[in-house]
Amino acid sequence: MTRAAVLPALGTPLRVQDIEIPAPGPAQVRVRLAAAGVCHSDLSLSDGTLRQPVPAVLGHEGSGTVTAVGDGVTGIAPGDAVVLNWAPSCGGCHYCGLGEPWLCAKSGDAAALPYATLADGGELYPGLGTAAFAEETVVPAHAALPLPDGVPLTDGALLGCAVLTGYGAVHHSARVRPGESVAVFGIGGVGLAVLQAARLAGAGTIVAVDVSPAKEELARAAGATDFVLSGDGTGDGGPAKRIRALTGGHGADVAIECVGRADTIRTAWSTTRRGGRTTVVGIGGKDQQVTFSALELFYFGRTLSGCVYGNSDPARDLPVLAEHIRAGRLDPSALVTERIGLDDIPAAFDAMLAGRGGRALVVF
């Protein structure tokens, strides 16, 4: 038996309880978790914004140590430190063939299959295929990536989502160039990672935007040169006007939205200079409709793009991130504003809803 935070049904509180995890089957590995980040995507899974069968164990940003491997597993062995990959690519679908593994058509297959049982024998599903809110989990072998040397095991959890997504949003999606101005909307775990990555990219003016004035110190420590309070978040043009004033009256070369709300996306778009680039990282619901006029699309010549998992290839990017971490250019631990236990995850969900803090990290 192992302890886990279980989502019994969509929209219900998580319950910490004992579950039964089987031995790994063919092409699977069992991992003892060291740490798991509490991400807004977990909240989106719990309320049905993202599709997830229930009951389920959520948590997708995790790191740990392999304790057992199933038949046919090569290249990984018990005792190895790993980072969980919630979107493992198959290598054979249309999108993988295009060199876009972050869009893999089969990356979500594991989430749709039961992986463990409740105490009463009922089937249990793994959130995003990883189920990191538990002392142990079983995942497909290709969803457990070797933790690069020199990265602490607990920090490694953040490489599985926040750091990889933030770095990728800057370097792969928005393609920030040295000297460009960048506005970052939403200073949670991913937003803080975006700020670090923008600084790493050599951006000039880096403006952090959030509803909470308490985020300013965190934002500046991560690389922000300026901080703008977005007020009530109604998208009334206030933040865009202030950001234009900080960028020579033109607007930001790049705006990166990490919230996933229609009004914030619209404000990020309005903040972007003519000919600039707006990248949306945040995950919003299907009812969040963003509107543009045909004339403004023509006149402003801006580029609006979505960003899935930072448009990253973890196998390629993790060694690069590790080198930056070893050199002191990136600091995953600086994203963490609270270290908690399993029982504290519901409170961490409440904090995210209230817009407080950066990344809460479950440490086992």
pLDDT tens sequence across 207-220? 999 999 999 999 99
Q: Is the dihedral of CA 49, 50, 56, 57 positive or negative?
A: negative
Q: Which of 359, 258, 325, 354 is CA-nearest to residue 36?
A: 359
Least confident of 18-22, 60-64, 72-76, 238-242: 238-242
| Tokens, residue 250 | 């033109």
Same domain, 7 and 139: yes
- Give the model's pLDDT for residue 230: 87
- Give the chain's radius of gyration (CA, Å): 20
**Domain shared by 41 and 156, yes or no:** yes
DSSP letter for 304, please: E
The larger pLDDT score, comparing residue 237 to residue 6, is at 6
Q: How many domains does the chain have?
A: 2
Q: Is residue 323 part of a domain?
A: no
Q: Confirm whether 49 is domain-assigned.
A: yes
Q: Which of 157, 181, 146 is closest to 39 using CA atoms?
A: 157
22 is in which domain, residue-wise? 2-160+331-363
317 in any annotated domain = no
Mean pLDDT of 322-345: 95
Interval 126-140: pLDDT, tens: 999 999 999 999 999
Inform me whether the pLDDT recorded for 142 exceeds 50.
yes
The mean predicted confidence, pLDDT, of the chain is 94
Measured CA to CA, the distance from residue 66 to residue 79 in angstroms comes to 5
CATH number, domain of 34, equals: 3.90.180.10
Please, are residues 160 and 61 in contact by the beta-carbon 8 Å criterion? yes
Instruction: At 141, list the tokens.
Output: 């072998």
* CA gap 144, 360 in Å, rounded: 22
With cut-offs at 50, 70 and 90, classify the pLDDT of residue 280.
very high
Mean pLDDT to the nearest integer, 12-33: 96
Residue 235, pLDDT score: 45
Assess whether 27 and 155 both reside in one domain: yes
Q: Is the peptide bond before 55 cis (omega within 30 degrees of 0)?
A: yes
Instruction: Please state whether beta strands 136-140 and 206-210 pair in parallel, antiparallel, or not at all (unpaired).
Output: unpaired
| HSE toward the beta carbon, residue 106, CA cutoff 13 A | 11
75: exposed, middle or buried (Cβ count in 10 Å: 0-12, 13-18, 19+): exposed
User: Are both 181 and 242 inside the same structural domain?
Assistant: yes
CA distances from 358 to 77, 146, 152 (A): 34, 26, 19
- Residue 275: which CATH number? 3.40.50.720
Residue 232 has pLDDT above 60, yes or no: no
Residue where a domain terminates, one of 307, 323, 348: 307
**Which two tokens mark 102?**
């972050």
- Residue 148: which region, alpha, beta or left (left: phi > 0; alpha: psi -120 to 50)? beta
User: What local confidence, expressed as pLDDT, does residue 237 receive?
Assistant: 54
Q: Minimal CA–CA distance to 182: which of 272, 301, 290, 315?
A: 272
One-letter identity of residue 163: V
